[in-house]
């Protein structure tokens, strides 16, 4: 019986140590989430307005000078830019991004994948590890962006994607990432990065009418790359905030589960201890009775 008590005590200490770690990780994630949430909340309205303006310009422009990034081509070669995290312990966050990527490939690009014409660029180590392990065609040049998350590093990835598209290395570029809603909620999405999507017209909707100064061609050639840089940076910030929110929620749940486990173990410990005491008392009483006899 003493061996059972020792085992339960050992398990209680182990669970308490784990709970201390999960609580600490929750606090760290909460602090990081506040900064990441502030960054994406400030960035999102600006990025959305730029994307709306860019889509309107593309929709109202004829193919020509400066419109190479909006040129639709038959889709033979595909690039998927998949944004995950560098670390785990964030619940199903990384798994859901990977699941969304696989579903998109199966639904839209199965033929290109079978031909070996689909490439994955991973931002974040977890996604990159999965796709390399599962023999996808990959490029890990931008895997470590989260080690030094800033606009300049994300801009390099956007520039590389633009150059590859213009050089016809890829006919379409898709972003797969998690949009941040709140600490407990993320929305996993696939967004067209290139060619720049046009605004889908609605019945009776008026087209935006822009006045260009300087010329339209100069503005388009200057604006398009800058807006695309911003779009990718927004997606990375969204994913960063989502990761910290998911990890904070996962660690909070883990701490709650540890409490439940501790409660159960303490009940088991008390029962075993009571049984031990009862057995010892019985032995004492039996021994005394035998001496008196």
- Is 50 exceeded by the pLDDT of residue 221? yes
Residue 188: strand pairing partners: 178
Predicted confidence at residue 205, as pLDDT, reads 43
Half-sphere exposure (Cβ direction) of 13: Cα atoms closer than 13 Å: 6
Q: Does domain 21-199+211-251 have CATH number 3.40.50.2300?
A: no
d(CA 185, CA 251): 15
Q: What is the mean predicted confidence (pLDDT) over 4-30?
A: 90
Residue 65 has pLDDT above 50, yes or no: no
pLDDT digits (tens, 9 = 90+) for 150-174: 999 999 999 999 999 999 999 999 9
Distance CA(150)–CA(238), nearest Å, equals 13
> 63 falls in which pLDDT band (50, 70, 90)?
low
Whether the per-residue pLDDT at 212 is higher than 80: the answer is no
Q: Which of 82, 74, 140 is nearest to 112 (CA)?
A: 74
pLDDT at 24: 94
Residue-wise burial string across 106-118, b where 16 or more C-beta atoms lie within 10 A, e elsewhere = eeebeebbeeebb
What pLDDT was estimated at residue 202?
45
Most confident option among 59-63, 82-86, 203-207: 82-86
Cα 123-129-132 angle, rounded to 5 deg: 100
Percent share of the chain, pLDDT over 70: 92
Segment 90-111 mean pLDDT: 96
Q: Are 4 and 272 in contact (CB under 8 A)?
A: yes
Region 75-91: mean pLDDT is 95
User: Per-residue pLDDT averaged across 133-157, rounded?
Assistant: 94
**Planar angle of CA 263, 269, 271, nearest 5 degrees:** 105
The string of DSSP letters for 130-190 reads HHHHTT-EEE-TTTTGGGG-SHHHHHHHHHHHHHHHHTTS-SEEEEEEEEEEETTEEEEEE
pLDDT, tens only, 230-251: 999 999 999 999 999 999 999 9
| pLDDT level of residue 190 (50, 70, 90 thresholds) | very high
Q: How far is the C-alpha of 48 from the C-alpha of 235, rounded, in Å?
A: 11
DSSP string, 93-110: HHHHHHHHHHHHHHHH-H
Handedness of CA 141, 142, 143, 144 (dihedral sign): positive
Q: Is the pLDDT of residue 283 over 90?
A: no
Nearest to 50 by CA among 261, 290, 231, 260: 231
Please report the pLDDT score of residue 281 as a whole number: 79
Structure-model confidence comparison of residues 53 and 177, the more confident one = 177
Which two three-digit tokens encode residue 127? 């996604």
- Check pLDDT > 60 for residue 203: no
Q: What is the pLDDT of residue 124?
A: 95
**Distance between CA atoms of 119 and 115, rounded to whole angstroms?**
11
């Amino acid at each position: 019986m003493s061996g059972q008590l020792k085992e339960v005590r050992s398990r209680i200490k182990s669970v308490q140590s784990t709970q201390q770690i999960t609580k600490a990780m929750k606090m760290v994630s909460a602090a990081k989430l506040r900064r990441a949430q502030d960054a994406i909340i400030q960035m999102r309205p600006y990025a959305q307005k730029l994307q709306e303006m860019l889509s309107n310009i593309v929709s109202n422009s004829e193919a020509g000078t400066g419109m190479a990034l909006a040129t639709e081509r038959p889709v033979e070669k595909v690039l998927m830019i998949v944004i995950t995290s560098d670390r785990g312990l964030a619940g199903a966050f990384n798994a859901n991004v990977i699941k969304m990527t696989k579903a998109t490939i199966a639904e839209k690009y199965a033929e290109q994948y079978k031909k070996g014409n689909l490439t994955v660029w991973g931002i974040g180590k977890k996604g990159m590890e999965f796709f390399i392990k599962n023999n996808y065609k990959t490029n890990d040049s931008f895997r470590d962006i989260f080690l030094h998350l800033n606009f300049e590093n994300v801009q390099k990835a956007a520039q590389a994607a633009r150059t590859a598209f213009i050089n016809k290395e890829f006919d379409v570029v898709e972003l797969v990432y998690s949009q941040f809603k709140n600490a407990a909620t993320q929305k996993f999405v696939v967004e067209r990065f290139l060619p720049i999507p046009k605004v889908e017209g609605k019945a009776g909707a008026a087209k935006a009418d822009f006045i260009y100064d300087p010329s339209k061609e100069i503005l388009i050639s200057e604006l398009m790359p800058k807006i695309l840089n911003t779009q990718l940076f927004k997606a990375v910030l969204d994913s960063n905030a989502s990761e910290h929110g998911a990890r904070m929620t996962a660690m909070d749940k883990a701490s709650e589960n540890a409490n439940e486990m501790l409660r159960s173990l303490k009940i088991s410990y008390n029962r075993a201890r009571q049984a031990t005491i009862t057995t010892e008392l019985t032995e004492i009483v039996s021994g005394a009775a035998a001496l008196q006899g």
